[in-house]
Amino acid sequence: VGDVAGMGADLFGSYVATVLAAMVLGNYVIKDMGGSISDAFGGIGPILLPMAIAGAGIVISIIGTMLVKIKNNDAKEDQVMGALNIGNWTSIVLVAASCYALCMYMLPETMTMEFFGEGLKEVSRMSVFFATLVGLVVGAVISSVTEYYTGLGKSPILKIVHQSSTGAGTNIIAGLATGMISTFPSVILFAGAIWASYFFAGFYGVALSASAMMATTAMQLAIDAFG
């Protein structure tokens, strides 16, 4: 399998694994608080929150796809990408709003979490929301970085086209070099996201940050299907 089918299976695996990991860490949050917490879900709010974020992301992605519209069938590629970006950015903003609502509704006002080398620390539900926001922001920036390095008319692609004038060898070298360089911003962003989300809500924050980042997977896969 390749392209949409292959990526769909790959992203599904990542999507489910991320949610399950966050649920497991949510259980440890409850354990760190003495085995019971007071919330509207029988004391298992931290476990249910990752699933709620994922579910909200699916519904919002469907809404995002409905916003992807072009004026006529003769639209150029940049117009189509503009329409896709409207759906993508709208989905991200709506997921951020839903994360805030879910964190405020499903979590107790303060929680106790284990921080590596620091012992137990109190974390507010607002800090948990900030951790999810980190994931959404990083996901949005990586989306922009990807568009820059792969979009037609962008500088990296034009450089590859220019190198093609001297033969297939230089074309391949330029393509490989551009691909390797394009990973650098993403690596730095991921490292920063891990640090920031851990700062806000420990390991649970890191897991929720990843869950929020993956919440718009359906929208991202739809954009990938466009090619």
Reply yes or no on whether the pLDDT at 1 is more than 70.
no
Rounded CA-CA distance 51/46 in Å is: 10
Mean pLDDT of the chain: 86
115-159: pLDDT as tens digits: 877 778 888 989 999 999 999 999 889 888 888 888 777 888 888
Per-residue confidence (pLDDT) for residue 70, from 0 to 100: 79
In this predicted structure, which of 35-44, 49-58, 134-143, 160-169 has the lowest mean pLDDT?
A: 35-44
pLDDT-based confidence at residue 87 (cuts at 50, 70, 90)? confident
Rounded CA-CA distance 5/136 in Å is: 25
The mean pLDDT of 178-202, rounded to a whole number, is 92
CA 60 to each of CA 39, 57, 160: distance values in angstroms, whole numbers, following the listed order = 25, 5, 37
Reply yes or no on whether the pLDDT at 40 is more than 80.
no
Residue 119 structure tokens: 């012992």
| Percent of the residues in the chain that have a pLDDT greater than 70, as a whole number | 96
Rounded CA-CA distance 26/23 in Å is: 5
Reply yes or no on whether the pLDDT at 72 is more than 80.
no
The mean pLDDT of 194-208, rounded to a whole number, is 92
What is the pTM (predicted TM-score) of this model? Answer: 0.83
Rounded CA-CA distance 2/13 in Å is: 15
Report which DSSP code applies to 100: H
Largest CA distance in the chain: 68
